[in-house]
Amino acid sequence: MTTTVTAKGQVTIPKAVRELLGIIPGSKVAFHRSSDGQVVLIRADQQQPASRFRKLRGHAGQGLDTDAIMALTRGEP
């Protein structure tokens, strides 16, 4: 992936990298130079990126039995 540096020295972090690191607006990032001279971008605020499955976790509702849940998933009234 490549990106262009602006006149102000700014770059846009590609979407795939933002998603991989869990970078959202307001996230802090850090740049580190590795021993071979490469620069590595890491997320600096120590928050782990949210699992793509974590967003889907939840429950069907308080007090619903199996029949009520099945009716909801089928779209029955």
Q: Around Cβ 44, how many Cβ atoms within 10 Å?
A: 12
The answer to whether the predicted template modeling score (pTM) of the entire model surpasses 0.85 is: no
Q: Which residue has the higher pLDDT, 8 or 56?
A: 8
pLDDT band of residue 58 (cuts 50, 70, 90) is confident
Do residues 27 and 17 lie in contact, with contact meaning Cβ atoms separated by under 8 Å? no
Please tell me what DSSP assigns to residue 30.
E
Two tokens, residue 25: 């607006």
Q: Taking 60 as the threshold, does the pLDDT of residue 69 lie above it? A: yes
| Residue whose pair of structure tokens reads 């967003």 in the numeric block | 55
